[in-house]
Chains A and B, each alone.
Chain A
């Protein structure tokens, strides 16, 4: 029985001695005056510490090869159509844009050779990525309107530029309005 007690005692002592450092200690407040005499460090005989070493390297980034050899297959015709405009964060066609769309549709129905690109643009106030989505929706709403007016859907492409190609860079509502637009470009195949 005594043996058991001794064992328990040894174990407890072991736990107290070696296990007393809790996982996290927040440093106690530093005394304001000079520190006390060097503490007793009988228990802290540390083995000679071996200095660890580290060699710092970095992956050298070689120049990335950009393989973008595609050249545009189409060129822009020099025909200018009126832009149509949108409200902030909206993509429905406003009544003031409809006359321009009607005359564009008329032109497309008379001139059947070129392809139309509807570009959707936004003002800078929204965030970049959402603006690209919004520009896409403006282009789609515009395209849907033209198709409803009889333009063959296969002739109308959509392209969103988000806020990346502003017409105007002042921070005024007048300028922002100019940027919230659908812009029209007629493409012709190269060499034709």
Chain B
């Protein structure tokens, strides 16, 4: 003991600073720990391949339109495949009764969503989310909306429940743009991702090709033919305006937006054969990205804006290629099948979804390095796939039920379902970025 002390004394000069350093270290650690504990508990680790579906109960909300709102929330959460919806017939506690975990754990429920609705000048919905295991409320929030916005209102609630339980942003308020045809007339349509609230733009065109969103979701760029001319048009939802942004002799087809929302890329045969171009909406400057005698079409920009995937028949059949945005370092990424078209990037940039012909057209995903080819559909002809903003879902068009319609599915191919009605022939769907 004495010896140690002596040693200590000997080094006292040098260790004078130690408490200070320790204190600093500790405060940093402490601050970090507070930070981490403030971060919400995650109930479903959706990034883990072995996640367990979370058993959830959503009793009918109390009050006017309570059933409609709670049904929309239930359907939203159910489509994700992350929740196990426990049937309402098994509940012994209603939305208006106080929460008691003992009413829920015997039927295996781990989370309960309750709500009450008041209808005054607008709908006022008070929602609570409970953790049955801990026996406590983990979300309480009041929502207000006009009666006409009951669906966006319900989707907003579903988004909050989703993000509270998964730690990720929900996509339940996203929309899908598509080309629809009724009585021989084509138009661009917008609908909620679940196929509800369908509206058309009222455009006067003969042929319309798949619209593409700007990254902020305020613009659509699309190509259309009218009076024997193919032109590229911009729909601006902020200024509610349509504008022709490019036309020439030959065929002009978009394309995709660059992340900045100013430049967009498109394919044009203005110089006799199809090549890829980039154009600025502000300056109208056009840059040619490829020069070849083959077809170059359907360019799609990677999320970081650095790469472009596109279709080319330079190897004798239409295949998907990836190049740098400047048009260099081109490499082919599809090698199976003799007809692979309509590529679209996942929002993380780790996958490309496309339509490949194997007797019929089917949806496939592949990694940008050409590995990991996976077929997602088998029925009918399936075309024009694109990802939802969170990368968890894919929309596409299919003729499997006779009339071409817009379908959605999980990104692993599960839960494929039609979301457009059969009175509209629908194709070219694109999921909105927000």
Contacts and interface: CB of A to CB of B under 8 A. Distances in A.
B328 interface: no
Nearest to A11: B26
Contacts of A8: 22, 26
Nearest to B188: A64
Contacts of A160: 230, 251, 269
Interface string A123-145: 00111111011111100100000
B165 to A, nearest CB: 10
A34 interface: yes
Q: Is the interface of B mostly helix, strand, loop or mixed?
A: mixed
B253 A21 contact: no
B71 interface: no
B52 A27 contact: yes
Interface string B96-121: 00000110011010100000000000
Contact of A127 (B22, B207, B383): B383
B309 interface: no
Nearest to A9: B26
Given A11-B29, A27-B54, A133 B297 contact: yes
Contacts of B383: 127-128
Contact of B141 (A46, A53, A136): A53
Interface string B261-275: 000000101001110
Max count, chain A CB within 10 A of own CB: residue among B25, B54, B134, B251: B251
Contacts of A56: 143-145, 149, 152-153, 156
Given A129-B253, A160-B251, A25 B8 contact: no
A19 B36 contact: yes
Interface stretch (A67-75, A79-87, A93-101, A102-110): A67-75
Given A56-B145, A129-B253, A26 B45 contact: yes
A170 interface: no
Interface in A1-43: 1, 3-4, 7-8, 10-11, 14-15, 18-28, 30-31, 33-35, 38-39
Contact of B240 (A23, A62, A129): A62
10 closest pairs, A vs B, by CB?
Answer: A19-B33, A11-B26, A56-B145, A133-B297, A62-B240, A130-B341, A136-B251, A127-B341, A24-B42, A133-B295
Contacts of B194: none
Given A72-B227, A161-B225, A18 B33 contact: yes
B314 interface: no
A18 B33 CA distance: 6
A53 to B, nearest CB: 5
B59 interface: no
Contacts of B134: 39
B432 interface: no
B153 A65 contact: no
A71 B428 CA distance: 28
B228 interface: yes
Nearest to A74: B228
A66 interface: yes
Nearest to A16: B33
SS class, residues of chain A in contact with chain B: loop
Contacts of A65: 240-242
Given A8-B26, A11-B29, A53 B142 contact: yes
B322 interface: no
Contacts of A61: 190, 199, 237, 240
A161 B29 contact: no
A83 to B, nearest CB: 18
A18 B37 contact: yes
A115 B284 CA distance: 31
Contacts of A72: 227-228
A68 B204 contact: yes
Given A56-B145, A134-B295, A164 B199 contact: no
A63 B240 contact: yes
Contacts of A49: 137, 140
Interface string B128-145: 000011111100111111
B302 interface: no
B95 interface: no
A146 interface: no
Given A52-B142, A53-B141, A158-B250, A133 B204 contact: no
A111 B44 CA distance: 75
A162 B18 CA distance: 77
Contacts of B48: 26
A30 B26 CA distance: 37
Interface in B20-59: 22-23, 25-27, 29-30, 32-34, 36-37, 39, 41-45, 48, 51-52, 54-55
B265 to A, nearest CB: 13
A173 interface: no
B224 to A, nearest CB: 9
B52 A51 contact: no
Interface in B327-350: 338-339, 341-342
B242 A67 contact: yes
Interface string B233-256: 001011011100000011101000
